[in-house]
Structure formats: C-alpha cells, structure tokens
C-alpha cells in the first residue's frame, strides 16, 4: 500500500507549484506521465490480467497467422502484439512497456488540453481506480482513451469524424461501439427533467436487464459467453457496492455546480452527462458485473475533465462568496477541499487494502515472487 500512497502524494504535490504557469504545466505532464508509465511498465505479476496477457503474447509467438486472426482479441491489439513479438522482442514484458506508454501519453494529452490544473486530473485518475484498471483491462482502457480524445467532435458537431474515432477505438475493444448513440444522447441539454427521464429509463433497464439482453442477438451471445462456470462471476453482481456509492458522490458533487460549469463552457454539458453515465453503469454493475466495464469512457471523462473543473468552480464560488474576507475564504475552501480529499483518499486506500483488480502487492521486474506465465 505504501508505494501507491507515496505515488499519489508525490505526483499531486509536485503539480501544485509547477502548474501555476503554462510551461510548468507541460513540465508537470511530462513528469507525471513518465512516473505513471514507469510504474506500469516495470510491474511484474501485478494485476489479475497480467498472466493472461503474458500467456497470450507467448501464444502469439508460436501460433500460425490464421490462428492469431481467429483469436478473440481485437485485431488492434492482436496484430501489434504479434508484430512486436516476431520482429522486435520475444519477452512479453515489452508488451506491458508499450501499453503503459500509450496509456500514459493519452492521459497526459487529455489533461494538458482540458485542465489548467492537471494534477487534479491525476488525483482523480488514481483515487477512482482508473490507474488500477489500466493494469488489467488494457485493451478496453486504450479504446476508452481514444473515444474520450474523440469527444471533441461532439463539440464541433462532426458526427462522421466522431464515428470514425469510435470505429478505430473498437479495433482495440468492441465495447467502444456503444459510444456511437451516445453522440446524440449526450448532446441533449442537461437539466433535472432530462436527468429524471434518463434515471427512469435507467431504472427500468436495471430491473429488466436480463430480459433486455436476451432480446437482442448480440447481447444474447454475450450472456451465453459468460454463463459458464468461469464467466458466471462476471454475469452476476459486483462485490464492490461501496464503489458505486463513491461514484454517486462524485456525480452529486458535479451536479451541485452544474449551472456554473455550463455557464463557463456550454460543452461541459457533455462532460456532466459522462459523470452521470459513469455512475449509472457502475450501478448497473451491481446486478451484472461485466456491464460496469461499459463505464470506462465515461469514467475517464469524469475523472480527468469534469471533476477537476468542478473543483475549480467550487474554489471560484468561495472567492465570490467571501470576496473581502480572506480568512473565511481560505478556511471554507480548505475545509471543502480537505473533505473531498479525505473521501477520495479513503476510497483509494480501501481499494488497495482489498486488492482491487489484484494490484496489491506491487511487484517489479527486479523483484517478484509469483509464477512466471512461461512455465
């Protein structure tokens, strides 16, 4: 646990002085990106999916091309893994180095473009468990990052380009395809009426989820795939209800400042919907664990974009509330930020303590005690 807590403290605290200037923001993104990349690149047997990816990489080295093409991994991942193994390196650890670099690069691009305080995005990225997700659902996380980078086309009303980005993302994980209809869903104006409608429809979908999935060919095949002994745990409910509560609190925090957010930037309407759907799909995961993974693009957008902007709006609100009383302004701001930090860090510690996604203990290529997938 200590290494993860040290990571959180160090990577956030260095950002406070650095990000006061634009040049410092670029330097911070470089430093933070490297640290996150390095920790993910040199890990060994850390994450439940580590051995799975390692074994598949080794299998691709001996499979004929036709068998690689037929493998269940999407071609955007399968072919680079095959190419990496055949032409460059036959050590599966190299695959994790490449994945870690791609993910860290896309994260820092989002933070640099969308926030004046990227350390806030890093803080939420860590405390909401997204960094731990990148150590497991690597295909899906890469696809989700691509989708979030493509959400700028919602702002410019370029549906065709947005669709191309989503289709490209689906080459890494097919779940990205669900984001095509959300181009229209998230353009709807966010207010309490639309929120009530979406919540009502979402509640019906939650109640009749199995019947809905059994009604469509693709979702019926999905249910069949996870109905066996190995997949039944994914089809059943999540064992992390506290995680859903945490996401609900994050959405309520955003909801509290929604008017100010939209006044500052009308496009925040889309990011606010992302916070809602991150919470909704996590709640849906209470019934079907695997469906919680559909939240990944929304979760990334929530943690790296709208939550940092909400913190900034909160601090601006305190400045407007106490324009002349500096002492009250500082005390109120510190109390609010401190309370939010305690909740987030507490959840972060809870995830680490309960070995969320198998990331604890953290082990490296220089010292690891788990079994090698080559054996």
The pLDDT assigned to 248 comes to: 93
pLDDT digits (tens, 9 = 90+) for 231-261: 455 556 566 788 889 999 999 999 999 999 9
Q: Which residue in the block uniquely carries the two structure tokens 């990944």?
A: 296
What is the sign of the dihedral through the CA atoms of 21, 18, 147 and 185? negative
CA distance 150 to 167: 11
The pLDDT assigned to 9 comes to: 93
The pLDDT assigned to 146 comes to: 95
The pLDDT assigned to 1 comes to: 75
The pLDDT assigned to 217 comes to: 46
Contacts for 173-178: CB closer than 8 Å, 24+ residues apart: 173/74, 173/77, 173/139, 173/140, 173/142, 173/143, 173/144, 174/74, 175/140, 175/143, 175/293, 175/294, 175/296, 176/143, 176/144, 176/146, 176/147, 176/297, 178/294
pTM of the model: 0.90
Q: Which residues of the chain have pLDDT under 70?
A: 65-72, 87, 211-239, 368-375
The pLDDT assigned to 69 comes to: 66
Q: Give the C-alpha distances (Å, rounded to integers) separating 284 from 6, 207, 277, 361.
A: 33, 10, 10, 29
> Is residue 58 within 8 Å of 86, Cβ to Cβ?
no
CA distance 164 to 183: 12
Domain spans, the chain? 2-358
Nearest alpha carbon to residue 127 among 308, 346, 358 = 346
The 8-class DSSP code of residue 188 comes to S
Q: Give the C-alpha distances (Å, rounded to integers) separating 41 from 58, 102, 176, 278.
A: 18, 11, 25, 27
Collapsing DSSP to helix, strand or coil, 218 comes out as: helix
The 8-class DSSP code of residue 189 comes to P
CA distance 306 to 258: 10
Residues linked to residue 367 through DSSP beta bridges, in sequence order: 364
Task: Name residues whose C-beta falls within 8 Å of residue 312's C-beta, 6 or more positions apart in sequence.
Answer: 116, 117, 120
The pLDDT assigned to 64 comes to: 73
Q: Give the C-alpha distances (Å, rounded to integers) separating 145 from 106, 288, 301.
A: 6, 23, 9
CA distance 338 to 334: 6
Residues linked to residue 43 through DSSP beta bridges, in sequence order: 364
Q: Give the C-alpha distances (Å, rounded to integers) separating 214 from 204, 221, 222, 231, 254.
A: 15, 9, 9, 17, 35
């Amino acid at each position: 646990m200590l290494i993860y807590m040290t990571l959180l403290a160090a990577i956030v605290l260095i950002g406070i002085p650095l990000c006061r200037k634009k040049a410092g923001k670029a330097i911070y993104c470089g430093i933070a990106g490297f640290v996150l990349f390095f920790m993910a690149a040199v890990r060994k047997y850390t994450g439940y999916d580590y051995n799975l990816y390692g074994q598949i990489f080794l299998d691709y080295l001996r499979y004929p091309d036709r068998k690689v093409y037929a493998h269940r991994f999407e071609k955007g991942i399968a072919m680079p893994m095959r190419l990496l193994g055949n032409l460059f390196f036959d050590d599966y650890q190299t695959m994790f180095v490449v994945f870690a670099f791609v993910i860290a690069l896309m994260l820092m691009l989002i933070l640099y473009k969308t926030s004046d305080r990227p350390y806030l995005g890093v803080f939420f990225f860590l405390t909401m468990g997204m960094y731990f997700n990148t150590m497991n659902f690597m295909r899906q996380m890469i696809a989700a990052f691509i989708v979030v980078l493509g959400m700028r086309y919602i702002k410019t009303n370029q549906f065709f380009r947005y669709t191309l980005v989503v289709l490209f993302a689906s080459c890494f994980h097919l779940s990205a395809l669900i984001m095509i209809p959300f181009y229209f869903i998230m353009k709807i104006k966010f207010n309490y009426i639309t929120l009530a409608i979406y919540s009502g429809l979402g509640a019906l979908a939650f109640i009749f989820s199995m019947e809905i999935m059994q009604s469509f060919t693709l979702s019926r095949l999905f249910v069949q795939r996870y109905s066996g002994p190995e997949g039944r745990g994914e089809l059943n409910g999540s064992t992390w209800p506290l995680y859903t509560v945490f996401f609900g609190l994050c959405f309520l925090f955003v909801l509290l400042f929604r008017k100010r957010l939209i006044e500052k930037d009308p496009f925040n309407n889309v990011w606010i919907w992302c916070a809602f759907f991150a919470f909704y799909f996590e709640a849906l995961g209470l019934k079907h664990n695997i469906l919680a993974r559909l939240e990944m693009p929304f979760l990334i957008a929530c943690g790296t974009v709208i939550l940092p902007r909400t913190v900034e709006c909160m601090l601006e609100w305190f400045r407007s509330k106490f324009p002349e009383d500096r002492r009250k302004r500082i005390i109120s701001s510190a109390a609010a930020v401190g309370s939010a930090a305690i909740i987030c860090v507490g959840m972060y510690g809870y995830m680490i303590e309960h070995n969320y996604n198998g990331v604890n203990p953290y082990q490296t290529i220089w010292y690891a005690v788990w079994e090698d997938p080559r054996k």
